[in-house]
Amino acid sequence: MELSGPRWKGKNFAQIANSNPMSEIIAQLQVCLSNSESAALPIGTDFLLETVPELTKLLNRTSFGRQLTTSYDSKQYFQLSPEETFYLHHFLKCLKVSIDNAKLIDVNDFWNFMRSRSELFPIYYRAYVHLRSKNWIVKLGTKNGVDYVVYRHHPALVHSEYAVIVDRENDKGEKEGERMRVWSDLHCAVRACNGVAKAVLLLNVMGYEVNFNLPELLERTIVDERQITRWVPSQCRDDCKLEGNKGEHH
């Protein structure tokens, strides 16, 4: 199955997206969060953020987190994933974080806190930053059996284009992840994602060391990006050429 670019969900939705650049909306969110006194609090594996109407609107427009429905008319809350929380705190430098009802923590303490919760967090965060830096909207891909799905603009306007699988290599170039070790794994992923009109994007984080005790050390890593597609014999150029020459004799 060949993908033909973005699949907009409605007429003129492409024009709406072009007239509302996501980078500009994120810049507005950055200012609003920086001026907010609210701090994200850990809840389970995610984080909870109390918001005001203006912040709620900007979080929804940038598709960060998920707005929660509560019985409190005067209070609004958002649930943020670990990657989203750390991205807003570390990369955009606009989100405050509090752990165990303590005072606000700095980025290095927060980094070590995240590493203590999951040793693979740095790998997924590195992949998340890589995608966000290219202006993709990044959401969890659990429903599609992948790590992330990415959107060209807000999910209300356009369908996701890529299903992202994150893998890793150590500083010696040795594969450490358990993903995609055999061709059958890759084939199944491609078939499943093509069935819902998504291409598979494999991100391999190269050069990561487990003793990266500062987030800045992630800059030493390289993200190898590869789009995986399924070969369709009927679309082979050589076959088409042979078909065109059939019956020609000299």
Annotated active-site positions, please? 151, 159, 198
d(CA 242, CA 247): 10
d(CA 239, CA 155): 38
The number of C-alpha atoms within 13 Å of 236 and in the hemisphere containing its C-beta is 8
d(CA 144, CA 120): 20
How buried is residue 236: exposed, middle or buried, by Cβ count under 10 Å (0-12/13-18/19+)? Answer: exposed
Report the 10 Å Cβ neighbour count for 93.
11
d(CA 164, CA 225): 10
d(CA 74, CA 119): 38
The number of C-alpha atoms within 13 Å of 144 and in the hemisphere containing its C-beta is 27
Residue 44, C-beta contacts closer than 8 angstroms, at least 6 positions apart: none
